Every structure is written in C-alpha cells, then in structure tokens.
Amino acid sequence: MFEKIDVSGYTEFGQTISHCLKDGKQVFIYFVGDRVDGKSWCPDCVKSDSYMDDVLKQASSIDAKKPRVFITCLVGDRDTWKNPVNPFRKELGLKSIPSFMEYGNKVLDEDDLTPESALKTLSDVTGGTV
C-alpha cells in the first residue's frame, strides 16, 4: 500500500519530503502541472494522469521493506512552470512534466514516462516483482 499525498508548490513539496524522509518512508513523486476542475493545463500530464492511478494500484501489491508514500506534486500554472527560475527546474533539475521519480533516484521525464516504466520504477526500488 501507498500513502497518497497531494501537494502544491515547492514550499509544500519540501516540507512534505522532509517529514516523510524523517519518518523513514520511501518517497515517490509524480510532478504535474496545476489542475483546474481536476484537469491539468499540460496535455502530456492529462495523458499520464489517465494511467498513473492504475499503475499505483498494481504496485500496491508489491511487498515493501518500509512504508511508501506517493506524492502528486503540482508544479504551477503554465507561466510558473515555464519560468527558468522555477525551483522545480532550478533545485531539482526537472526539465519537463509530467515527471516521476523515487526521491533521490533517476527521474522519468515526459519522454520516458509510460505505464510500464512507472511500474518498473516502483517494483525495482522496492526489490519486488510485478
């Protein structure tokens, strides 16, 4: 099972990550554009949203060695995201959205993020199999 947390913006993201790591949790983050009426302004994020819930359900059956958290992080509206000094770009090195990662490991960006790659990431880092 995964604890699911939704955060908006870099400050809330940082606070949540700190809390989760302090508690010894394994942290996965799904970065997407802000949503209006439940739908992101980013077309690629809308596409990945369509399968990420199913991927998370499949991965929930994998035995994990420690508690796991799945954070959906809203990175801002289009103008905020496109700003070169956006902290998600500057501090984390994100180049595109959607992006997905286990905190501290390789980022899957929009070109690499598929249902299969997300599920593989979730199973590889937990040492489980799908």
Residue at token pair 């700003």: 83
The set of residues, in sequence order, having a beta carbon less than 8 Å from that of 115 and lying 6+ positions away, is: 51, 54, 55
- Spot the catalytic one: 32, 42, 75, 113: 42
42 is an active site residue:
yes
- Spot the catalytic one: 27, 45, 59, 94: 45
73 is an active site residue:
no
Nearest to 2, CA basis, from 70, 52, 96, 98: 70
* Residues annotated catalytic, as ranges: 42, 45
